[in-house]
Structure 1
Amino acid sequence: MTGTGDQQEGGTIAIGIDLGTSWSCVGVYRHRHGRVEIIINEQGSRTTPSCVAFSDTESLLVGEAALNQAARNPTNTVSGAKRLPGRRFSDASVRSDMNLWPFKVVAGRGDKPMIAASHRRRQKLLAGEEIAAMLLVKIKRDAESYLGGTVTNAVVTVPVSFDVLQRRATKDAFAVAGLDVLGVVHEPVAAAVAYYGLFHESGTETKNVVVFDLGGGHTSAALLTISAGKIAVEATAGDAHLGGEDFDGRMVEHFVEQLKTEYGKEDVGRSARALVRLRAACEQAKRTLSSSTWAPIEIDCLLEGVDFRTTITRDQFEDLNTDLFCRCMEPVKKCLSDAKLDRSNVHDVVLVGGSTRIPCLRRMLRDLFDGKELLRKDINPEEAVARGAAILAAAVVSRVPDSDLLDLILSDTTPRSLGVEAAGGAMAVIIPKNSTIPIRREQIIALHSQEPTSVVIPVFEGENPIARENSLLGELKLSAVHRGTQRGGSERQVSVCFDIDADGVMTVNARDRATKNANQMKFMDKGQLSKQEIERMAEEAAEYMAQDAENRDRVNAKNLLEECLYVKRRKIEAERKKANDALSGLEQMIQQVDNDQVSSAKKFREDLEVLMVEGSTVAG
């Protein structure tokens, strides 16, 4: 597998990576051809399973090799781990995912979720960033093999629902893999660049475009305005825990109940191997139902000798997931609402992600836009994000003179609004959603407290106007404050300052305006990887990949030796067959001569001459 080397100006190769929950895709922009190429991996595929496997006997397995052995090694095969980096073990979303994963997740230092796996008979605890880095190392290696040069730079895409911690964790994973992040861009925005970017269209007509991104583990939407090749992001919205894997999960639950009813298998839910095989069959059925009205489920020896044979229709699949499909429409509606744009003014809907092929979802999108045929189908949904990221990567390293395109690289923004609880329980937003960081904002807030000389300031993240309905990040206590002016001295005027640095660490400063007493607290700085941890993980990842390279070299050498042996055996067998055929002919001729009592001397001499000629030919 080779490709023609195509370095960008300055000798730097930069790629665009869509690091997905279920599948990953990589693209590179070819300047000489003026288009994006999707990089083919070593198996000849355009996408790579986001899967890593450990075992006691083999080296590290990544991608298709890991996915292919998942059924026989479920507890040591990790997929869907994109949901872990940047989260805490105590997060409700993590605890919910743990019920679906066959591998084990435990609490690590600082409440960090750690994946427990057995590798070469040693127990290992690995962060989600390490798993992502192992996948990225394979992606990097495949890209270097395809492009014929060293790859160190990449633009990475993330869901719009990722918060600052998740984005930082994604960057950490790239650092562990030896890749420099040129920029971080929202996945729907990258898809829009693929369709309408600088290198594609340059019409003067202004278009309002909705990008609907339904990945394996998330749903995102973005509303963009496109004019003369320039793209402006008007609104984004997303659901961090809704995607194709959730549709698979509904089918798994359905068939688990069917197994209990028809076969009396109450313990199928406790068999990791059975669940992995059932989930794989359900995922394949989901794909089939996008083009067929029914799909078979056939699994030999699923559990205790049971050969599971059944079918599912498209109508059944839609009934199982109706509520989830309806939730998928919410980010689109929120984008239109936030941008105050009527749906009749939308010109195109761009689809991203394999699950957007589900007919019911496409029908719901058409209905949402009053039946208009707006869906763009001219780019593979699985490749759109990687194509856009590749265009942006080329724009960065080549310094393309189009600042609007480069401005789409959201290296750091606040994905949600940040604020405090003001008097009356309202959410006082200090830093609005999608603010570029670093940023510093200050407000005077009226706060209530039952304590005579202190006040507690809760810090929240979210968009709900009621503070307590948002996510609580922490509480800052301010002591020795003024006794207040209203309601028996319960209301204080406090100056609250939010300061987010370039690393995404937020410092909240609070100062009582009357007493000038102040206090501060840091947020969003826990559970992240230190420089030493990144270096350690990079060394361990290099060790894993060295083992993998050693094993690959051993397998290649073994295959070459086996191929040579088989060639020689076939040659010897062919020669042996030829000799056996000749011997059989001679035996037959001897028998004929022994039994011949009538042929003349002339006939015998003619046969002898023929035999002598054949003998000399064989000898020659």
Structure 2
Amino acid sequence: MAASKGGGPAIGIDLGTTYSCVAVWRHDRGKVIANDQGNRLTPSCVAFTRAERLVGEAAVNQAALNPTNTIFEVKRLIGRRFRDESVQEDAKLWPSKVVAGRDERPLIVVQHKGKERQFRPEEISSMVLAKMRETAEVYLGKAIKNAVITVPVYFNNSQRQATIDAGTIAGLNVMRIINEPTAAALAYGLEKMPLSNKRRTVLVFDLGGGTFDVSLLNIDPVTNKKNKGVFEVVAIAGDTHLGGADFDSEMVKYALREFTRRHGKMDIHSNQKALRRLRTACERAKRMLSSTAQTTIEVDSLHDGIDFCATITRSLFEELNKDLFSKCMKALDKCLCDAKMDKSSVHDVVLVGGSTRTPKVQNMLREFFGGKQLCQTINPDEAVRTAPPSRPPFSAAAKPTMGVIPRNTAIPTKMAKLFTTLYDNQTVVCFPVYEGESADTRDNNLLGKFALTGIPPAPKGVARLHVTFDIDANGVMNVSAEDLDTAKKKSVTIINHGGRMPKEEIARLVPIEI
């Protein structure tokens, strides 16, 4: 990435559920930077011990001995509420303890230096981001302040804001939040597509460790070497809770059933060290099944001194995860349907994310696209690039009129709507703002609300209230309302209603001190 307007170089960070990486733009191409262990991917894992805090490989290496204080997959918590079904389900499989904090936001409980500590997901994510920043600083030999961070397409406003907060805590100026498959399309389009005078439609299938996105883009002709074409995001779909970690979880559940069948009911679920070791073995077996038809899940002295060994075939793995694979294809169908495009119109299918190495995933895509050759020319783990205008995954509206900004509208964007009063002599109008697709606001996500006061008393339907919705390139929304008869105005920036970290708390954590 080139120097930013704020001065100094800017880096691109792919903040993943299981792995993260950092890149810089050098010599007209993206350069993924290796960490202090010589690896281009760093585990998104943080651990706390009696003496220190560990991030990356060091945290993973001690996880089996210190499971309750080792935190992984924190991306699945960021911007969510404790009562969310996905949080409750994930918490059952994590060795670390998750509790409800202020505003029902999840907090992760650990023991560190002899004391109990509670951390927000943003704080843990900031530690991973700080590790990425430090990796880049060692490579470049200078301090880094500016960064672009990728997020899943279906991250909502709350999750995007929380990611920005995490970057701020890590000492970064988050210049922009961009969608992961859009970044991948740029990596593919800028580096791999030859000079051409024909528009190409590219589908990016991004299945990572914890999230799944599918995006359909049009890439306009490259006119010359300086103008490398125009990227237009046509439609998106996905799931923020679907990926390789879910495949691992299904294998863990299978292994636990097998252990119980062989040895009777035993309280293995309370043995966090055993569960951590079993999950590691299942993840290893999953990777092996990408290149072999059969392998074993093997853990010595899993519980009460009992060894565990189970053979798992590729066909069994696919049967265990058939519902998850089906979800992927349904999202693919939805993306094409939203774009009103037939699959025959897709020129290239680009695979992104480590879980696309799964043979079943590749076979499903080849079959869906009639035997089309899949594009695997870019490293699926390293799609970190600048991005074109992206699109909001959810419609946004002020109650009671729905769909002011429809899903798949290109951003940045600005739209307006005329509202009025519902009652005679009404002097105050409240504007709750939601995101979601349901006609019932109770099923959508409340982003924020504000009130316009001082409206002159009049019969219902007389007042003219002009409301403007403005979404910036990061997907952050500003809403303003004006009474056209009195020129009174009121505005609000939607900042994760009731849940975003207070500015003073963020300031206290910069730089991170543990």
Q: TM-score, normalised by structure 1?
A: 0.73
Q: Which residue of 2 aligns with 1:533?
A: 505
Q: Is 2:136 the counterpart of 1:143?
A: yes
Higher helix content, 1 or 2: 1
Distance in 2 (CA, whole Å) between partners of 1:510 and 1:260 is 65
What are the residue-to-residue correspondences of 1:147-186 with 2, within 5 Å? 147-186=140-179
Distance apart, 1:533 and its partner CA: 1.4
The reply on whether 1:51 has 2:45 as its aligned counterpart is yes
Indicate conservation of the 8 Å contact 1:430/1:498, yes or no. Answer: no
Mapped pair 1:463 → 2:463: no
Partner of 2:64: 71
Q: Does 1:432 align with 2:406?
A: yes
The 2-side partners of 1:293 and 1:443 are apart by 61
State which drifts further: 235-244 or 147-156. Answer: 147-156
Residues 480 and 489, structure 2, Cα contact 8 Å, conserved in 1: no
Are 2:12 and 2:147, in contact at CA under 8 Å, matched by a contact in 1?
yes
Aligned pairs for 1:281-360 (under 5 A) are 281-360=281-360
Report if aligned partners of 2:151, 2:160 keep a CA contact under 8 Å in 1: yes
1:416 to 366, 372, 394: 394
1:128-527 map, 5 Å: 128-197=121-190, 201-227=194-220, 228=222, 229-230=228-229, 231-373=231-373, 375-383=374-382, 385-386=383-384, 389=385, 392=386, 408=388, 414-420=392-398, 422=400, 428-433=402-407, 434=409, 436=411, 439=414, 441-444=416-419, 459-465=433-439, 467=441, 469-472=443-446, 495=465, 497=467, 499=469, 504=476, 507=479, 524-527=496-499
Structure-2 separation of matches of 1:311 and 1:234:
44
CA contact (8 A) 2:55 2:127 kept: yes
Secondary structure, in 3 states, of the residue corresponding to 2:202?
strand
Separation in structure 2 between the aligned mates of residue 265 and residue 494 of structure 1, nearest angstrom: 68
CA contact (8 A) 2:434 2:444 kept: yes
Q: How far 1:508 moved relative to its partner? A: 7.1
Question: Take 2:32 and 2:265, find their aligned partners in 1: how far apart are those partners?
Answer: 45
Q: Which runs of 5+ in 1 are unaligned?
A: 1-5, 393-405, 486-491, 545-620
* Compared CA separation, residues 429 and 102, structure 1 to 2 (3 A): same
Q: Is the 8 A contact 2:29 2:191 kept in 1?
A: no
SS in 2 for 1:376: coil
TM-superposed deviation, 1:453: 12
Larger Cα Rg: Structure 1 or Structure 2? 1
Kept in 1: contact 2:421–2:429 (CA 8 A) = no
Distance 1:446 1:99 in 2: 48
Q: Distance in 1 between matches of 2:480 and 2:247?
A: 41
Q: Which secondary structure does the structure 1 equivalent of 2:197 belong to?
A: coil
Of the candidates 31, 43, 58, which is equivalent to residue 37 of structure 1? 31
User: Could you say if the C-alpha distance between residues 205 and 287 of structure 1 is closer, same or farther in structure 2, counting changes exceeding 3 Å?
Assistant: same
1:86 aligned onto 2:86: no
CA RMSD in angstroms, aligned pairs only: 3.3
Take 1:215 and 1:362, find their aligned partners in 2: how far apart are those partners? 14
Q: Which AA in structure 1 matches 2:43?
A: P
* Residue number in structure 2 paired with 1:402: none
Query: What's the offset of the Cα at 1:446?
Result: 9.4
Deviation digits for residues 457-498 of structure 1 (CA, Å, limit 9, x no counterpart): 76532124555553455788999998879xxxxxx9985735
Q: State the Cα deviation string for residues 308-345 of structure 1 (Å, max 9, x = none).
A: 11110000000001011010122222221111111001
What does residue 565 of structure 1 align with? none
Q: 2: CA distance between counterparts of 1:420 and 1:180?
A: 31
Distance 1:455 1:40, change over 3 A: closer
SS at structure 1 position matched to 2:311: strand
Residues 201/127 of structure 1: CA separation in 2 closer, same or farther (3 Å cut): farther
Gaps of 5+ in 2: 223-227
Match of 1:28 in 2: 24
Q: Does the residue aligned with 2:510 lie in a helix, a strand or coil?
A: helix
Q: 1-side partners of 2:264 and 2:484: how far apart?
A: 67
> 1:28: Cα distance to partner?
2.1
Q: Which amino acid aligns with 1:26?
A: V
CA distance in 1 between partners of 2:233 and 2:489 (Å)? 38
How far does residue 527 in structure 1 lie from its aligned partner after superposition?
1.6
2:9 alignment partner AA: I
1:169 CA drift (Å)? 1.4
Alpha-carbon distance between aligned partners in 2 of 1:379 and 1:437, rounded to the nearest angstrom: 28
* Counterpart Cα distance in 2 of 1:152 and 1:512: 43
1:16 counterpart (12, 21, 26): 12
TM-score if structure 2 supplies the norm length? 0.87
Matching residue's letter, 2:444: N
- Going from structure 1 to structure 2, the CA distance change for 1:432 and 1:43 (only over 3 Å counts) comes to same
Report the CA distance between 1:292 and its aligned residue.
0.5
The alignment partner of 1:197 has SS state of: helix
Alpha-carbon distance, 1:92 to partner: 2.8
Asked if 2 retains the 8 angstrom alpha-carbon contact of 1:420 and 1:467, the reply is no
Question: What whole-Å deviation, never above 9, does each CA across 1:37-82 have from its counterpart, x for those lacking one?
Answer: 22111111110000000012x3111100101111111111011001
**Does the 8 A contact of 1:496 with 1:509 survive in 2?**
yes
